[in-house]
């Protein structure tokens, strides 16, 4: 099978979500705790989305598997505000389908009078539950002076939990989310606390947000960070992981791209990159030269994640690491590397690599794809002519790292090395170069896009799995003279189903 067929025959996994009001559930809350995340070395488990440390803040999280989503209750796929579960229902498990693929257009319910207060999604920030198993309660809290201060539930208030593909924004793309009515739980100081349980039928990754509404008031949205604005950040939603047996018949698609930071017309280039990754239906994506927006501190990878979540109806876990400051178009940016994965991240390592002018890192992400335990590496080797030996040493450090795990290694990135360089031969001695395996007579040049001259961008797969490669291609979207980057991306399909 050729890769183009694989790309167009992406997995369509049906997902069914049912909600149960839990007004009589025992108060079993656990309070979230801050997690310190090291800049280097082992990091056990994924950081919270709302973390403010270097790795945690950049470790944007997300993933939802593709497919139909079915929710309990009176739902309307076109709008968030008509998707509430009836507060008086006991446990209605009749599914209502939501179209697969791209999120339907939605109309945000902006009715009501604005009000001031505070709200959050209290706990949990990350929740893992088996398919077809009711979750533990999900809690949120709200405060408004003169309303929630009194004992008991503030009269006439409503609270809802919003569930959608992790990475999507409930205010910008309301059609991606479905709302589940939450029940009043207890008073916590001056706050009213609400709770809800969910049962998910099929595996996937979701984002969760709360919203609250007094009689006659506007919806007030809240994430795990909590706040007084009534708005949320897409990377600060709680993370819902639903586990199930792996689906058969789905090739794993791996991609890598150097994004050229925010140089040039980034909004137009971003649209081309989203098109390329969407058409490839990439599941594991390594991104280099991923730069933060100086105004919002948001990464390019986070922007891509949101766009892909809304385009595909699934999300991605995201780990990012800043490496250094760079300058493009006379502007300075915090540049780094990122890994997007359509499978939950189990754990991650950040390796420090040799360098000449500024820090170089490698992300090592542990995940399970189609039932296969993998370690996914993404890196960007030093580029200077004086760093030839450092690139070779960097390759050896990665080889040494995966020698200590039973997980199958996949290595991607801009390696700043020609195919005959020692860095590449070091990796090739332990792994299989996907491009060379599939196109032995084609040089596969990836840089520079305006006059291709050299191959710098690679995907290496485990040699025992090389026979499962179903095709490797360049990602070379353009709009007239505008390329999506100064590098072509690379994508490969690996039939480990």
> The tokens of 466 are what?
């090389």
pLDDT bracket for residue 247 (50, 70, 90): low
pLDDT bracket for residue 83 (50, 70, 90): very low
Model confidence pLDDT, tens digit, residues 376-397: 999 999 998 899 999 999 999 9
> The tokens of 493 are what?
């399909």
Q: Counting beta carbons within 10 angstroms of the beta carbon of residue 260, is it exposed (0 to 12), middle (13 to 18) or buried (19 or more)?
A: buried
pLDDT of 217 above 70: yes
Range among 43-52, 126-135, 192-201, 374-383 rated most confident: 374-383
Q: Given this model, what pLDDT does residue 137 score? A: 98
Residue ranges of the chain that CATH labels 2.60.40.650: 12-27+67-100+104-243
Domain 252-494: which CATH class?
alpha beta
Torsion angle, CA of 253/105/160/142, rounded to 10 degrees? 100
User: How far from 31 is each of 52, 122, 141, 347, CA to CA, in Å?
Assistant: 18, 8, 12, 22
Q: Counting beta carbons within 10 angstroms of the beta carbon of residue 295, is it exposed (0 to 12), middle (13 to 18) or buried (19 or more)?
A: exposed
Model confidence pLDDT, tens digit, residues 455-472: 999 999 999 999 999 999
Name the residue with tokens 């994004």.
259
What CATH topology corresponds to 12-27+67-100+104-243?
Immunoglobulin-like (2.60.40)
Q: Of 92-101, 217-226, 417-426, which range is least confident?
A: 92-101
Q: 401-428 in b/e burial notation, b at 16+ Cβ within 10 A?
A: bbeeeebbbbbbbbbbbebebebbebbb
Q: Rounded to an integer, what is the distance from CA 171 to the centroid of its chain?
A: 18
pTM of the model: 0.78
Of 223, 213, 153, the closest CA to residue 188 belongs to: 153
Residue ranges of the chain that CATH labels 3.60.10.10: 252-494
Alpha helices in 45-177 (DSSP H): 54-58
pLDDT of 3 above 80: no
User: How far from 256 is each of 9, 286, 401, CA to CA, in Å?
Assistant: 20, 5, 20
Torsion angle, CA of 178/185/138/143, rounded to 10 degrees? 80
């Amino acid at each position: 099978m050729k890769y183009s067929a694989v790309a167009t025959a992406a997995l369509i996994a049906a997902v069914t979500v049912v909600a149960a009001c839990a007004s009589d559930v025992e108060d079993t809350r656990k309070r979230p705790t801050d997690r310190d995340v090291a800049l280097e070395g082992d990091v056990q488990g994924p950081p919270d989305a709302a973390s403010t440390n270097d790795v945690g803040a950049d470790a944007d999280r997300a993933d939802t598997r593709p497919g139909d989503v079915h929710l309990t209750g009176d739902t309307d796929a076109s709008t968030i505000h008509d998707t509430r579960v009836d507060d008086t229902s006991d446990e209605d498990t009749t599914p209502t389908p939501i179209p697969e693929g791209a999120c339907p257009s939605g109309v945000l319910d902006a009715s009501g009078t604005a009000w001031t207060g505070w709200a959050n999604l209290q706990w949990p920030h990350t929740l893992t539950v088996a398919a077809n198993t009711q979750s533990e309660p999900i809690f949120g809290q709200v405060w408004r002076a003169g309303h929630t201060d009194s004992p008991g539930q503030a009269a006439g208030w409503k609270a809802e939990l919003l569930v959608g593909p992790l990475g999507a924004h409930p205010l910008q793309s309301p059609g991606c989310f479905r709302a589940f009515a939450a029940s009043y739980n207890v008073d916590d100081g001056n706050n009213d606390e609400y709770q809800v349980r969910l049962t998910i039928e099929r595996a996937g990754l979701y984002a969760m947000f709360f919203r609250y509404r007094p009689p006659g008031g506007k919806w007030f949205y809240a994430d795990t960070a909590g706040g007084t604005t009534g708005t949320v950040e897409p990377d600060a939603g709680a993370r819902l992981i639903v586990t199930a047996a792996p689906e058969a018949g789905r090739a794993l698609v791996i991609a890598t791209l150097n994004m050229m930071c925010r140089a040039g017309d980034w909004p137009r280039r971003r649209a081309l990159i989203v098109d390329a990754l969407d058409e490839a239906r990439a599941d594991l994506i390594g991104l280099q030269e991923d730069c933060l927006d100086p105004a919002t501190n948001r990464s390019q990878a986070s922007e891509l994640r949101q766009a892909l979540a809304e385009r595909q109806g699934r999300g991605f876990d995201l780990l990012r690491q800043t490496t250094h400051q760079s300058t493009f178009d006379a502007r300075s940016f915090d540049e780094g590397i990122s890994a997007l994965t359509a499978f939950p991240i189990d754990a991650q390592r950040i390796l420090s690599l040799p360098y000449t002018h500024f820090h170089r890192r490698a992300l090592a992400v542990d995940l399970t794809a189609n039932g296969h335990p993998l370690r996914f590496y993404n890196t960007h080797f030093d580029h200077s002519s004086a760093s030839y030996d450092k690139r070779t040493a960097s390759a050896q450090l990665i080889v040494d790292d995966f020698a200590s795990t039973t997980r199958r290694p996949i290595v991607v990135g801009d390696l700043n090395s020609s195919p005959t360089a020692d860095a590449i031969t070091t990796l090739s001695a332990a792994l299989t170069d996907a491009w060379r395996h599939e196109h032995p007579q084609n040089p596969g040049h990836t840089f520079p896009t305006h006059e291709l001259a050299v191959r710098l961008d690679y995907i290496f797969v485990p040699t025992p799995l090389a026979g499962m490669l179903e095709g490797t291609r360049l990602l070379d979207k353009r709009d007239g003279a505008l390329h999506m980057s100064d590098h072509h991306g690379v994508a490969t399909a690996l039939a480990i189903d």
